[in-house]
Structure 1
Amino acid sequence: MNTLLENIGLNADLLIYLAIDISIAILLLGFMKFISGISAQVNATDELSKEDNFAFGISVAGSVAALGIVLTGAITGENAESYAMEAIGMLSYGLLGLILIKIGRVIHDRLALNQINKTEQIKARNVTVGIVDAAGAIATAIIIRAVLLWVHGLDASTFIAIVSGFVVSQAMLVLVTRIKEKQYAKNNQRDSMQEAFANGQDALAIRYAGQVISTALAVTAASYFLVYSPDTLFETLVGWFVFSILMTLLVALLTAIAKRLILWGINLVEEVDQQHNIGVASVEMAISISIALILTALMA
C-alpha cells in the first residue's frame, strides 16, 4: 500500500499534465462540433437531432475524429517545463490543427471536388458527400499529425513547418483525386466521379475514402525518411513531397495486387461503379487502408 502511495506521489505531476491535456482536448472536440455548424450555416444540435440529417452527422463525425487524430500528435508524451506551457502548447497545436482541418475542407471543396457544392449537398442530406467530406478531413488530419510528430519545439520555425507540411498534404490529396477521377471516367464511358457523388453513389464514396486515407498514410510514411531541421526546412519539405509521391505510388501498386488476390473473380468496376455494391467497396477500402498501415509501420 505504501508503495502504491509513493508511486502516486511520484506521478502527481504526470496526473496534472494528463488532466490539462484531456481537459483541453475535450474542450476542442466540443468546439469542433460548434464550428461545423457555423461552417454549414445550421444549428449543429438541431441538425443532428431534430432534423436527423445523417449526412451532416457523418461530416461532423469526420471533423471530430480528425481533430482527435491531430491532438494525438500534440501529445508527445514529454511534459512541458510548466503547467502553463503545457496548456499553451496543447491549446496552440489544437487550435492550429482545427484551423488547418477547416482550411483543408475549403481546399478540398474548391480544388479537389470543385464540381459539387459539398455544403449544400450535406444540407440536402446527401450521405455520399458526407462520407467524402469526412474522409477528406481524416486524411488531412493524419498528415498534420505526422508533421506534429516530425517537428519539435514551439517557435516560428515549427509553425512554418506545420503549415508547409499541410500544403504538401493538400497537393497530394488533390493529385490523387484527379487521378481517381480519370480512372473512373475511363472505366465508365467518360462519366464524372463528382457527379456520381452528387447522385448518391455510396459505394463509390466508401472506395474513395479508402483511397484518400491510404494516401495520407503514405505521406506519413514518407516523413520517416527525413529529419526535421529549421535550417534546411525548404529542402526537406521538397524531399518530403518527392518521397510522398513515391510512397503513394508504392501503396497504390501493392493495393492493386492485394485487391486482385483478395477479391479474385470479382469485377470491381461492375460491382462498385455500376451496381453500387457497398460490401465490395468496404472491402476495397479496408484493403487500401491496411496496406498503407502495414507499409507505414515497416517504414517506422
Structure 2
Amino acid sequence: MESFLLGLPLSYSTLLYLGMDMAIGLFLLAMMRWVYGLWTKVDSTAQLAEKDNFAFGISVASSLFSLSIVLWSAAERASAGDYLDKSLQMIVYGVAGILLIKVGRTIHDRLILNRLDKQEQILNRNVSIALVDGASSIAMAIIVRSVLLWTKGFDLQSGIAVLTGFFVALTVMLVTTRLMERRFARDNQNDSMQEVLVRGQVALAIQHGGNLLGTALAVTAASQLLYYQPDAYISNLINWLFLALLFTLLTILLSRIAQKLILRGINLVREVDQQHNVGVASIEMALTIGMALLLTGLVS
C-alpha cells in the first residue's frame, strides 16, 4: 500500500491546491444556499426544518446540484498543473454559475412557465412545480457544462461562448415545453399542462422533467460535432442552435419509439395524464434520458 501511494503524483503543493479547490467549492455551495434564501426573500432554515417544505427543499437541492455541475466543469477543463488558474476559474465560473442560475430561472419563470407564480407554488408546497423547476435548472447546468468543455482558454471569447450556450439552453427548454404542452392539450381536451401542474400532478412533472433532462443531454451530444471558433460569435450561435434543436427533436423521436416498444400495451395518456401513474412516468423519464445518453455516445 505504501509503495502504491508513493507512486501517485501527489506532492505537497498538489494536495495544498486540491484542498484550496475543495474549500472554494464548499464555500460557493454554502453561498448558493444563502443567496437562494435572499432571492426568495424567505427564511430557508424555517422552510426546510420547521415547515418541512419538501418543494422548497427540492428547489434548493436542484440549485446546489446545478452549481456543482458548473464547478465540476470548471475544475475538469483547467490545466492539471496550473493550480492557481484552476482555483481562479472555479471562483469565476462559480460566481457566474450562481448568476446564470438566477437569471435562467427568472427567464424560465416569465417566458416558459408563464401561466403560474412558481415561487408562490413552491412556498405552498407544490412538489410538481418544484420538480419541473429543478429539472430545468439541472438541464441548463448540463448545457453550460458542455459549452465549458467545448471552449478553449479563459478569456472574453470563452465567456461569450458560455452566454451562447446559456441562450441555447433557454431556447431548447422553451421548445421542449411548448411541444409538451401542445401534446398534452391535444390528448386532454385542450387542457393546460401548466394548470395541471399547479394542481399537483407529480407524474406529469416527472415526465416533463425527463424531457428537459433528455434534451439537455441531446445538446451535449450536439456539441461533439461543433468546432470551437473563438471569434466566430454569430456562427457559433447559429450552429449551436441548429444542432441543439435537431438533436432535441431526434431525442424526442427516439424516446417515443422506445416507449412504444418497451411500454407496449400501456396507454400512456391514460396512465400518466389521467391516472397520475408515477411509475409509468418514471419509466418514460428513464427512456428519454437513456436515448439521449445513447445518442451522445454514438456521436462522441
Match of residue 238 from structure 1: 238
**1:15 has 2:33 as partner:** no
Match of residue 38 from structure 2: 38
How far, CA to CA, are the matches of 1:81 and 1:127 in structure 2?
Answer: 44
How far, CA to CA, are the matches of 1:2 and 1:287 in structure 2?
Answer: 45
Deviation at 1:205, TM superposition (A): 0.3
Match of residue 160 from structure 2: 160
Q: How many residues align?
A: 300
Larger mean Cα displacement after TM superposition, 73-82 or 217-226: 73-82
Alignment of 1:108-123 (within 5 A): 108-123=108-123
Q: Secondary structure of 2:139's partner? A: helix
- The two structures have a TM-score, normalised by structure 2, of 0.95
How far, CA to CA, are the matches of 1:229 and 1:141 in structure 2?
Answer: 22
Deviation at 1:15, TM superposition (A): 2.2
Larger mean Cα displacement after TM superposition, 116-125 or 10-19: 10-19
How far, CA to CA, are the matches of 2:280 and 2:205 in structure 1?
Answer: 12
How far, CA to CA, are the matches of 2:29 and 2:123 in structure 1?
Answer: 22
Q: In the alignment, is the contact (CA less than 8 A) between 2:75 and 2:86 conserved in 1?
A: no
Match of residue 181 from structure 2: 181
**Quick one: structure 1 residues 9 and 222, their matched pair in 2 at CA, closer, same or farther if it must change by over 3 Å?**
closer
Q: In the alignment, is the contact (CA less than 8 A) between 2:78 and 2:85 conserved in 1?
A: no
**1:206 has 2:193 as partner:** no
AA matched with 1:62: S
Q: In the alignment, is the contact (CA less than 8 A) between 1:37 and 1:44 conserved in 2?
A: yes
How far, CA to CA, are the matches of 2:77 and 2:7 in structure 1?
Answer: 18
How far, CA to CA, are the matches of 2:204 and 2:221 in structure 1?
Answer: 26
How far, CA to CA, are the matches of 2:70 and 2:123 in structure 1?
Answer: 26
Q: Secondary structure of 2:224's partner? A: helix
Deviation at 1:208, TM superposition (A): 0.4
Q: In the alignment, is the contact (CA less than 8 A) between 2:157 and 2:231 conserved in 1?
A: no
Match of residue 96 from structure 2: 96
Structure 1 runs not aligned, ≥5 long: none
Deviation at 1:284, TM superposition (A): 0.7
Q: Secondary structure of 1:230's partner? A: coil
Match of residue 62 from structure 1: 62
**Quick one: structure 1 residues 13 and 106, their matched pair in 2 at CA, closer, same or farther if it must change by over 3 Å?**
same
Deviation at 1:209, TM superposition (A): 0.3
Deviation at 1:206, TM superposition (A): 0.4
Match of residue 258 from structure 1: 258
Percent identity at matched positions? 48
Q: Secondary structure of 1:49's partner? A: helix
Deviation at 1:78, TM superposition (A): 4.1
Q: Render the CA deviation track for 1:128-176: whole Å, top value 9, x for unaligned.
A: 1111110110010000111111112111111111011101110111111
How far, CA to CA, are the matches of 2:9 and 2:136 in structure 1?
Answer: 44
How far, CA to CA, are the matches of 1:272 and 1:13 in structure 2?
Answer: 55
How far, CA to CA, are the matches of 2:87 and 2:212 in structure 1?
Answer: 32
Q: Secondary structure of 1:114's partner? A: coil
**Quick one: structure 1 residues 77 and 147, their matched pair in 2 at CA, closer, same or farther if it must change by over 3 Å?**
closer
AA matched with 2:265: G
Tell me the C-alpha RMSD between the 2 structures.
Answer: 1.7
Deviation at 1:258, TM superposition (A): 0.4
How far, CA to CA, are the matches of 2:227 and 2:16 in structure 1?
Answer: 32
AA matched with 1:87: S
Q: In the alignment, is the contact (CA less than 8 A) between 1:143 and 1:219 conserved in 2?
A: yes
- The two structures have a TM-score, normalised by structure 1, of 0.95
Larger mean Cα displacement after TM superposition, 35-44 or 239-248: 35-44
How far, CA to CA, are the matches of 1:8 and 1:143 in structure 2?
Answer: 33
AA matched with 1:35: V
Structure 2 runs not aligned, ≥5 long: none
Larger mean Cα displacement after TM superposition, 79-88 or 96-105: 79-88
Match of residue 149 from structure 1: 149
Q: Render the CA deviation track for 1:45-88: whole Å, top value 9, x for unaligned.
A: 11100110000001111111111111111112643765433221
AA matched with 1:205: A
